[in-house]
Each structure stands twice: as C-alpha cells, then as structure tokens.
Amino acid sequence: MNKVDAPIILALDTDEIATATAWIEATSNSVDIYKVGLEFFLKHGTDGLRELRAVRNFELFLDLKLHDIPNTVAGAVRSIRELQPRFLTVHASGGASMIRAAAEAAPDISITAVTVLTSLDAAELSTMGIELAPLDFAVALARNAVSSGARAIVCSPMEVAEIRQAVGSEVEIITPGVRPTDSALGDQSRVMTPREAIAAGANFLVIGRPITSFFAQSPQAMSERALQILESLT
C-alpha cells in the first residue's frame, strides 16, 4: 500500500512538541495525516502547529470538537483557517445552524462532525437523557450534519456501515474506535480491529496508543508497528 493511500491518521496525543515531532518522524513512511487535539493545541496553539509542520509538511486533522452558538463557532473556524487543516471537528450535536455556520466560514476545510464519542455506550447515553441506542443516535446526527454542510463524519466503527448507507459514498468517514487484536481497549467502549473498520466502510482510522506506545522501545519499533497495522489492511 502506498503512503498516499494510507488510511491511518496518527493521533498526536501529547502536549510536548519534541514528542510529537519524534512521532511524526518515526511514522513518515506510513502516515500522511496527523491528528492534533486539545491537549496539544491549548498549550502551543497555532505556533506549535507551525513548528511541527516545519519538520514535515503533513496534512492536519485538527480535532477541536467545536460546540457553541453558530456565530461563535464560525468565528473560531475563521481564526484557524490559515492553518489549512484538511479536517476540522465540530460536535454534530451542536445542530444544523452551528454546522452550517462552520462550513460557510471555511468552505475550503472539510468540516467534520463528531457523532457519538466512542467512550459512550447505551448506559452512558441513558444517564444523559438520551434513550436512543448509540447506533440510532449516531445515524441521526450524521444525516443532519451532512445535510448542513459537513463533508466528513467521525463515528464508532460499530456505526460505520449504517452511516455509510445513510450519507452516501462522497462523505468521508473517520473512526477512532479501532484496536488491533493485541491492544488494550483503554477508554474506548465500542471498537473493531482496523481491518474490520475499513471493511465496514471507513475511509480513515484514527490510531494513537496502539502505535505511539511502541516509541518507548525505540523509534524503529514505532515505525514497524505502524507499518504492521497498515499492512494488515491489505
């Protein structure tokens, strides 16, 4: 599988620039897109991202999960537009007007709607007053988000097939809830193996600890782990 076809998005779940840089360098032969979330962005901001991209010009999955009134979200999107992320996340539960405002604020960015967090199960949703099953809730959120301008969806792999059927083939589906068979679940409740998630219809897999934990052994071990997972998809 060529690097340009690689469906792995590596999660840079660290607040240290040196660590994130080392992870990027270790996976340069298997990963093109890197996820930066709140942990890193709140500490280092746009300057930190520029520093990472000075090492290697990668495509960015900016995982901020914006969720506020439409005007505030639109302003937030405009404030980071110069970073040119490929994907920028918003919470699908923010509603149609919020998602539309985000999409209109940056038509060159793929506004990516997060449906039901993979750490949530039916019991957790019920305590929040949501009686829909995770699958039904995620599908409803995805349909509404796409009709409001979202071009990508984040969901559990357990919902990928149904969401793909609901939103069509043009929408990119990204799933963070993947674990190789030899990896611990961590804080994920609804998971599949990487190969199962791709077979279900996901375009991209967000993977963090099952790859980054190998850096403690060596950069080479981390590189080999990423390639191992990538090759398991063929």
Which of helix, strand or coil describes residue 206? Answer: strand
Q: What was the pLDDT predicted at 180?
A: 78
Q: What was the pLDDT predicted at 119?
A: 79
Q: Is the pLDDT of residue 98 over 70?
A: yes
CB 71 within 8 A of CB 95: no
Q: Which residue has the tokens 């439409």?
A: 70
Catalytic residue (one of 3, 35, 43, 65): 65
Question: With the C-alpha atoms ordered 117, 184, 231, 63, is the resulting torsion angle positive or negative?
Answer: positive
Query: Token pair of 14, please?
Result: 């660290």
Query: Token pair of 185, please?
Result: 């679940």
Q: Is the pLDDT of residue 233 over 60?
A: yes
Q: Quick check: is 65 catalytic?
A: yes
- Phi and psi dihedrals of 188, rounded to 5? -95, 135
Q: How big is the CA angle at 138 (ends 152 and 125), to the nearest 5 degrees?
A: 135
Q: What was the pLDDT predicted at 121?
A: 83
DSSP state, 10? E
The percentage of residues in the chain with a pLDDT greater than 70, rounded to a whole number, is 93
Q: Is the pLDDT of residue 120 over 90?
A: no
Average pLDDT score over residue span 125-149: 94
Q: Is the pLDDT of residue 192 over 50?
A: yes
Q: Is the pLDDT of residue 188 over 90?
A: no
Domain count, the chain: 1
Q: What is the CATH number of the domain that holds 106?
A: 3.20.20.70
* Average pLDDT of the residues of the chain: 92
What is the residue range of 70's domain?
3-231
